[in-house]
Amino acid sequence: MKYSPYSHSRIQTGNCPFAFKKRYIDRDRGIQRGNSGFGKVLHLVIADIIKAMVARREYSADRLLELHMDTAELSRTSEMLDILNTFHHAFVLNRDKVAGIEEAIAVNFDDSEAPWEDSYLRGVLDLIEIDGTHATITDHKTQFNILAQTQMDDNLQLSMYCYLAKCMYPQLTRFTVKIYFARYGAYRQSTRTLADLDAFRRTIDIMIGKIESIEEWVPIACSSCAFCEYISACPLAQYDPKGLVPPEVMTQAQAVREARLLRVREEQIKVAKERLKAFSSANGPIEISGDYAFGFVENCSTEWSPKEVREVFERHDHSLDGHVNFSKTNLRRLIKQAQRLDPDFASDLEEIGKDKKSTRFKGYKC
Ligand code: SF4
């Protein structure tokens, strides 16, 4: 393997060959993001606190902060102390089941234990608790956005942690993965089965195979663009100073270039919106001029009960024909339930449904 050991972030970075070369071949550190030192310090302090909790030792958050604090982060001490205070109240630890804290696991291609620098896959598990054949793996994050359930279920990093745990503790058959969002003292969790981990292994072998066979270190816009450390050097992200709107008439090559630029911008806008949303929910609308603001706008929709509507129609001697529409979502749900309980009813309903197609211009995975 040319580019192993593979951690989760190395595999993710491989989505863009340009960024991969910068980080792992040129060893270019790129733009250091504002929160990286902050998150690192908190990670170290939280690990020390958990160790103290397991050993039933007294600890002082201030003292631990002093120990790990990077001078660059000094101005954010009170923010860190707030997070640690929340941690103290919100973090749940199954002290007697703790099997590892900041446990570094590295394995060979055949899943056997390997040296850290000379392995196929590797990762560091913030916390692993084991109860018989069940592992609970917790990752701490200081990011602002809390992941949605689908993002937890599809999360490659969490699957990687479970996979590494399975290699190290072969008795494990069930896995719960949690993220502790340290800013809010909130958890999100998901599960993985052995079958999920087999599928995960097949997926990452394919992803790694693609990285190993990269021939051109070209930029490929992907979901990492919004956080990319190499954006200032990326040819795709260099906007034309004359403006961001593409020319009216384009060649195929220009269209591809513009579409690639658009993908980078879309990923950045997605993250910018999430962050502004978090700010706005705490601080209210963000006015950018006298007549434009970003904020939460209430939409009001009216619902009518079918039973009451029918009664009013009957009372006034009107026919319902041509006036009633069934909600698509409700009917889909009904068909799904009926497939189990009354398959004939479900199939008759399915048969009378008529597809209505529409076309929307958007970026999509192909
Ligand atoms: S901005 Fe996007 S396309 Fe450019 S280097 Fe970074 S990840 Fe790759």
Give residue 212's identity as a one-letter amino acid code: E
Q: pLDDT tens, 313-365?
A: 999 999 888 887 788 888 899 999 999 999 999 999 999 988 888 999 888 88
User: Do 16 and 233 contact (CB within 8 A), yes or no?
Assistant: no
Q: pLDDT tens, 83-99?
A: 999 998 899 999 999 99
Q: What is the 261 CA–ligand 1 centroid distance (Å)? A: 10
Q: What is the 225 CA–ligand 1 centroid distance (Å)? A: 5
Q: pLDDT tens, 137-154?
A: 999 998 888 899 999 999
Least trusted range by pLDDT, from 185-194, 209-218, 256-265, 339-348: 256-265
Going by their DSSP bridges, the two strands 134-141 and 121-131 should be labelled as antiparallel
- Return the H-helix or E-strand segment holding 122: strand 121-131
pLDDT at residue 198 is higher than 90: yes
Mean residue pLDDT across the chain: 90
The predicted pLDDT at position 301 comes to 85
> With a 6 A CB cut-off, is 211 part of the ligand 1 pocket?
no
The predicted pLDDT at position 71 comes to 60
The position carrying tokens 């599809």 is: 154
Q: Which protein residue's CA is at the shortest distance from atom 7 of ligand 1? A: 225
pLDDT at residue 76 is higher than 80: no
Q: What is d(CA 46, CA 52) in angstroms, rounded to the nearest whole number? A: 10
Q: What is the 207 CA–ligand 1 centroid distance (Å)? A: 18
User: Do 327 and 304 contact (CB within 8 A), yes or no?
Assistant: no
> With a 6 A CB cut-off, is 18 part of the ligand 1 pocket?
yes
Q: What is the 182 CA–ligand 1 centroid distance (Å)? A: 28
Q: How far is CA 285 from CA 248, 250, 269, 297, 323, in A?
A: 35, 39, 18, 9, 39
User: Do 101 and 47 contact (CB within 8 A), yes or no?
Assistant: yes
What confidence tier does 243 reach under pLDDT thresholds 50, 70, 90? low
The predicted pLDDT at position 79 comes to 85
Q: What is the 215 CA–ligand 1 centroid distance (Å)? A: 17
Residue 152 CB neighbours (<10 A): 17
What confidence tier does 160 reach under pLDDT thresholds 50, 70, 90? very high
User: Do 13 and 127 contact (CB within 8 A), yes or no?
Assistant: no
Best substitution site from 230, 257, 266 to test ligand 1's pocket, by max atoms within 8 Å of Cβ? Answer: 230
pTM above 0.95, yes or no: no
What confidence tier does 102 reach under pLDDT thresholds 50, 70, 90? very high
Best substitution site from 9, 11, 18, 23 to test ligand 1's pocket, by max atoms within 8 Å of Cβ? Answer: 18
Give the nearest ligand 1 atom to 267 CA: 2
- Mean pLDDT over 273-290 rounds to 89
What confidence tier does 30 reach under pLDDT thresholds 50, 70, 90? confident
Q: What is d(CA 41, CA 193) in angstroms, rounded to the nearest whole number? A: 33
Q: What is the 118 CA–ligand 1 centroid distance (Å)? A: 28
> With a 6 A CB cut-off, is 228 part of the ligand 1 pocket?
yes
What confidence tier does 242 reach under pLDDT thresholds 50, 70, 90? low
Highest mean pLDDT of the ranges 128-132, 231-235, 245-249: 128-132
pLDDT at residue 236 is higher than 90: no
Give the nearest ligand 1 atom to 229 CA: 6
Q: Which protein residue's CA is at the shortest distance from atom 3 of ligand 1? A: 221
The predicted pLDDT at position 125 comes to 97
pLDDT at residue 37 is higher than 80: no
The predicted pLDDT at position 251 comes to 92
> With a 6 A CB cut-off, is 230 part of the ligand 1 pocket?
yes
Q: Which residue has the higher pLDDT, 53 or 64?
A: 53
The predicted pLDDT at position 163 comes to 98
pLDDT at residue 265 is higher than 90: no
Q: What is the largest CA-CA distance in the chain?
A: 82
Q: What is the 301 CA–ligand 1 centroid distance (Å)? A: 41
Closest CA to 1 of 156, 211, 199, 206: 211
Least trusted range by pLDDT, from 70-79, 129-138, 242-251, 315-324: 70-79
Give the nearest ligand 1 atom to 236 CA: 4
Q: Which protein residue's CA is at the shortest distance from atom 4 of ligand 1? A: 234
